[in-house]
Structure 1
Amino acid sequence: MASVKAPGNLPQLVKSTFGKARANGDLLYFPTQVTVLAPTSIPKVFNPFENPDKGLLIAELAPDHNLVLNKFAVVQEHFILATKSFREQTHLLDANDLEATYACIAAYHDSVPEAEMGSDAGEGELYAFFNSGEFSGASQPHRHIQLLPVARMREGIEEGKWDVLAKRLVGEIQDLPFTVFAADIEPGMSGQALRDIYLTLYRQACASVAALLSKGDIADGAEAQTEGLARISYNMAMTRHALIVCPRLSEGGAVWDQGEAIGKVSFNGTVLAGTALVKTSAEWDALRSDPEALFNVLKTIGVPKSSRIES
């Protein structure tokens, strides 16, 4: 049975810490619009998770993790589960990483009265994702998993127009342009049970990349791997009932407008929620006017569906 327990008032704790940190200038929140569609000479990179700012610290999650606000939040109450001691972002996740992640998801769900669970507002839902490797959208080497309240992700979207893609990925989605590997998970699973599922999906992802690139050593080595450096770039996502691994071959691609490249759209683990972040209004306008352009970029970021193999 799961032994890590997140604070029972976690949603309220995240919300109050976020509000206080924003008021005090401890974090920067960039409101967004949404729509449905090391050489030794280089100075040491700042590690925001080594000694997190007190204004950003939500809570300690014994024994191995801290919950901290994302200093550069793009949705309100965006927070992070980070290991207390340095662990590599590019190495395989441990059982306690996955157990702690699910504990946060469970705490959000348990905070909402059962009578309100039928609402479409996303209250009580938490979307978790992990970026690993050069093509995954990862930006920090210290191991961390990002958590987004679904209700905050939905703000600005007309009711019923969008829901988290990962919730539907256990079944086959015919129009998804890249391969994902997904499995059901349930409340009460131990960290080791979650990790067994994660490793199975990781190995399937490695096999798909190996088949596409004709590099059998990727799959052969992954079959017995339980720790150390991941053999591929990938995103992991977790919801209350699903765990997903998506192998990655590129971070993104160019955004075109009337035959001219006007920018680039990059994807991290939020792609498994069915979202993308663009940096300029020109990119925003181009993608809204031609949704097929976004679909074309998505075709390039992972293993094409026709290359998928089962293991």
Structure 2
Amino acid sequence: MNTRTEPLRPQELWSRTLDTTGQGLTTGALQPIATECRVLEHQGVDFQVRVLGRAHLKEDRARREPPRAQPFNPFEHPDPHLVVGPLTPTHVCLLNKFNVVEHHLLIVTRVFEEQESWLTAADFEALALCMSGLDGLGFYNSGEAAGASQRHKHLQLIPPLGPEGLRVPMEALLTPPPPRGQVLELPALGFAHRVTGLGPWEDSPSRDGARMLDAYRALMAAADMHTTPPPPYNLLTTRDWMLLAPRSRAESHGINVNAMGFAGSLLVKTTEQCEHLRQLGPMELLARVTRP
């Protein structure tokens, strides 16, 4: 169990993640979701499609809890066996209890904030701290239509998915990234989006976080998303680029899509859904859940 009170340093993040993963598996606090991963190539991207097993679907139905008067908030008093460590005065780092991808981290606000609220300098500083320790994909699901499953504000970070040195499959179409400060729509991406570059990574949470905040605001402005709360969207970021996908709906053809879908990683419930996705094309699925 992690009882640390001093903030995590970037160079400690990975070892603490591995230690906490081991403890979570031993105690049962961490409950990975087993899937079979298949590759569907579409429009230059090797999409990773993870298929749930029949056994998991039965277990999922069996463990569903009865409705509560108030929705359960797993981040209000997080399971100590899932706590990787404190990050900043405003954020802590947890393991995702029901993870599909190994070592899936959550960057959670200590005090409740709505998941649909605007991202802040504090959010990006905490994310940048973690990304200095893990050069993967950071992402944010804003609103139910964007795949958010919890109201308590949290960003997420996963290790590189590949293939061949890419952090995510979609990065094949994002290399090299646009220059810093330039917001683009890339014709190769077959869904509604805005993308920009972040410039050189400095390994300074405050400076890297500030640069990410500037990029986020530029993307939101370019997509004409000015209201509070903003319309639903997914945000994806690496150390090099940031991408915004405005959302119109949570799913299409029975397949739910969150930010990882726009990274090139999708989850389907059955082999039948996987075959339907192959016929439709993953990029077409993404187009159907983004805002026209």
> What's the TM-score bracket when you normalise by the shorter of the two chains?
0.7 to 0.9
Cα 1:95/1:19, change in 2 over 3 Å:
same
Partner residue of 2:81? 55
1:240 and 2:239 correspond: yes
Matching of residues 223-302 of structure 1 within 5 Å:
229-254=228-253, 264-288=254-278, 290=279, 292-302=280-290
Partner of residue 141 from structure 2, selected from 112, 127, 131: 131
Contact 2:30 2:98 survives alignment (8 Å): yes
Cα 1:272/1:297, change in 2 over 3 Å:
closer
- What's the CA shift for 1:103? 1.5
Judge which range, 275-284 or 72-81, deviates more: 275-284
TM (norm. structure 1) is 0.72
- What's the CA shift for 1:137? 0.4
Partner residue of 2:57? none
Contact 2:232 2:246 survives alignment (8 Å): yes
- What's the CA shift for 1:190? 4.5
- What's the CA shift for 1:202? 0.9
CA distance in 1, matches of 2:30, 2:288: 34
CA distance in 1, matches of 2:270, 2:22: 26
Partner residue of 1:115? none
Query: For each residue in 1:205-240, what CA deviation from the matched residue of structure 2 results, as whole angstroms up to 9, or x when unmatched?
Result: 2x2xxxxxxxxxxx5xx1xx6xxx332110011101
- The one-letter amino acid of 2:246's match is P
Length, aligned pairs only: 247
Partner of residue 170 from structure 2, selected from 165, 168, 179: 165
Partner residue of 1:10? 13
CA distance in 2, matches of 1:149, 1:34: 16
Secondary structure of the residue that 1:48 maps to in structure 2? coil
Matching of residues 49-88 of structure 1 within 5 Å:
49-88=75-114
Cα 1:293/1:183, change in 2 over 3 Å:
closer
CA distance in 1, matches of 2:173, 2:103: 24
Secondary structure of the residue that 1:103 maps to in structure 2? helix
Partner residue of 1:177? 190
Partner residue of 2:291? 303
Contact 2:234 2:247 survives alignment (8 Å): yes
Matching of residues 86-235 of structure 1 within 5 Å:
86-108=112-134, 125-150=135-160, 153-154=161-162, 163-166=168-171, 168-169=173-174, 170-171=177-178, 173-185=186-198, 186-188=200-202, 189-205=207-223, 207=224, 222=226, 229-235=228-234
Cα 1:85/1:34, change in 2 over 3 Å:
same
CA distance in 2, matches of 1:132, 1:47: 17
CA distance in 1, matches of 2:249, 2:166: 28
- The one-letter amino acid of 1:275's match is S
Structure 1 unaligned segments of length 5 or more: list them. 109-124, 208-218, 255-263, 305-311
Structure 2 unaligned segments of length 5 or more: list them. 1-6, 41-66, 179-184
